[in-house]
């Protein structure tokens, strides 16, 4: 049991592998949904994911190995309650900067997608050539939304404005403003249909759009709502679980994963499908981050 986070350490791994000083990965729970614009409730996502992770096997059946020995520390909640998005951004940045400065890999658990902005800023401080792999149903390219440039619907607009290379996967919903921006700037968008029909071409395009250090921001609504219904703004026609894994594994084997987040998980009553899926994806990201040099993905 991890004494720093009693009863709620990610995966419930042995205490020896859950120490702050020696962990390669640091889980940052961020219970904030202050910019959510449809259904709120993803502030409960971090604890739900942590609880669900206790049911996840630490042996990866796909890769036939265990990946917790690198160390996974679960940080106390970074932010929660009724705070402004600006105040929460600074709290997240300070916590993530401490992780990055210690040469550890931060993995944020949201919370709404706005939390990703501060995490990306902190990781970019150490990796100025950072690139971003973005899973989402929505383009998140609005200049401002609900009178805030820090809204969850503006995350990728800020990322592109900061000059960060990025590719979005799973996007199937955007407004006219976003459509025009995508067309004018030639932004890299890989929709679910393209990934499904032409997986090899899609993987090549994703890798070509990314630099060497990669931050993964994973909005759970990038998956189809049939397998991840617990989210505030579900969209039909999303990614299958194995399709997402194919992208994550290929990026893990061919690039350096330096940070990640899992956001927009909104627990539903009487079922835990979404948070279990999110917990498995977080552990998959941790596993795939350790695959560099292990050879190509199996056919």
Does residue 145 surpass a pLDDT of 70?
A: no
In a domain, 295, yes or no: no
Surface-to-core class of residue 82, CB atoms within 10 Å of its CB (0-12 exposed, 13-18 middle, 19+ buried): exposed
Does residue 176 surpass a pLDDT of 70?
A: yes
Mean pLDDT of all residues belonging to the chain? 91
Q: How confident is the model at residue 182 (pLDDT cuts 50, 70, 90)?
A: very high
Predicted pLDDT of residue 296: 64
CA-closest candidate to residue 275, choices 284, 285, 263: 263
Of 3-12, 31-40, 109-118, 201-210, highest mean pLDDT: 201-210
In a domain, 49, yes or no: yes
Over residues 242-253, the mean pLDDT reads: 97
Predicted pLDDT of residue 150: 64
Nearest-angstrom CA–CA distance, 32 and 42 = 7
In a domain, 52, yes or no: yes
In a domain, 4, yes or no: no
Share above pLDDT 70 across residues of the chain, in percent, rounded to a whole number:
90
Predicted pLDDT of residue 36: 60
Q: 1-10, 81-90, 194-203, 286-295: which has the minimum mean pLDDT?
A: 1-10
Nearest-angstrom CA–CA distance, 167 and 188 = 5
In a domain, 228, yes or no: yes
Predicted pLDDT of residue 135: 98
Render pLDDT for 22-71 as a digit per residue (tens, 0 to 9): 999 999 999 987 556 567 788 899 999 999 999 999 999 999 999 999 99
Over residues 62-82, the mean pLDDT reads: 91
Render pLDDT for 8-24 as a digit per residue (tens, 0 to 9): 789 989 999 999 999 99
We report the CATH number of the domain holding residue 142 as 3.40.800.10
Surface-to-core class of residue 23, CB atoms within 10 Å of its CB (0-12 exposed, 13-18 middle, 19+ buried): buried
In a domain, 3, yes or no: no
Cα dihedral 231→232→238→241 (10° resolution): -10
Helix (H) / strand (E) containing 66 = strand 65-66
How many distinct structural domains can be found in the chain?
A: 1
In a domain, 2, yes or no: no
Share above pLDDT 90 across residues of the chain, in percent, rounded to a whole number:
78
Predicted pLDDT of residue 238: 98
Query: For residue 113, what are its two tokens?
Result: 């997608």
Range of the domain at 184: 10-288
Predicted pLDDT of residue 2: 35
Over residues 127-155, the mean pLDDT reads: 84
Cβ–Cβ under 8 Å, residues 283 and 11: yes
Long-range residue pairs from 15-21, CB within 8 A, at least 24 positions apart, any chain? 17/68, 17/69, 17/71, 17/72, 18/71, 18/72, 18/73, 18/74, 19/71, 19/73, 20/73, 20/75
144 vs 86, which has greater pLDDT? Answer: 86
Q: How confident is the model at residue 6 (pLDDT cuts 50, 70, 90)?
A: very low
Predicted pLDDT of residue 193: 96
In a domain, 163, yes or no: yes
- Residue 98: asked if its preceding bond is cis (omega within 30°), the reply is no
Predicted pLDDT of residue 41: 81
């Amino acid at each position: 049991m991890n004494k720093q986070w009693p009863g709620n350490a990610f995966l419930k791994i042995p205490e020896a592998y859950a120490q702050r000083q020696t962990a390669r990965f640091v889980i940052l729970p961020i219970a904030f949904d202050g910019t959510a614009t449809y259904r709120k409730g993803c502030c409960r996502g971090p604890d739900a994911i942590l609880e669900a992770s206790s049911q996840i096997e630490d042996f990866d059946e796909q890769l036939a190995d265990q990946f917790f020995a690198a160390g996974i520390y679960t940080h106390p909640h970074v932010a929660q309650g009724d705070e402004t998005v600006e105040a929460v951004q600074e709290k997240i940045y300070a916590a993530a900067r401490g992780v990055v400065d210690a040469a550890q890999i931060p993995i944020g658990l949201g919370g709404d997608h706005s939390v990703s902005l501060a995490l990306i800023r902190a990781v970019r401080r150490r990796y100025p050539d950072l690139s971003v792999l973005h899973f989402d149903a929505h383009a998140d390219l609005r200049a401002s939304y609900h009178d805030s440039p820090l809204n969850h619907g503006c995350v990728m607009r800020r990322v592109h404005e900061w000059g960060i290379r990025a590719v979005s996967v799973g996007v199937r919903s955007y407004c006219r403003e976003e459509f025009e921006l995508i067309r004018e700037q030639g932004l890299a968008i890989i929709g679910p249909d393209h990934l499904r029909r032409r997986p090899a071409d899609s993987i090549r395009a994703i890798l070509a759009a990314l630099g060497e250090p990669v931050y993964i921001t994973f909005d759970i609504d990038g998956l189809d709502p049939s397998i991840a219904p617990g989210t505030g703004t579900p969209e039909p026609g999303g990614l299958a679980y194995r399709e997402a894994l194919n992208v994550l594994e290929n990026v893990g084997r061919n690039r350096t994963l330096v940070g990640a987040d899992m956001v927009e998980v909104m627990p539903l009553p009487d079922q835990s499908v979404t948070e279990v899926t999110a917990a498995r994806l977080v552990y998959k990201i941790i596993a795939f981050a350790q695959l560099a040099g292990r050879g190509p993905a199996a056919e």
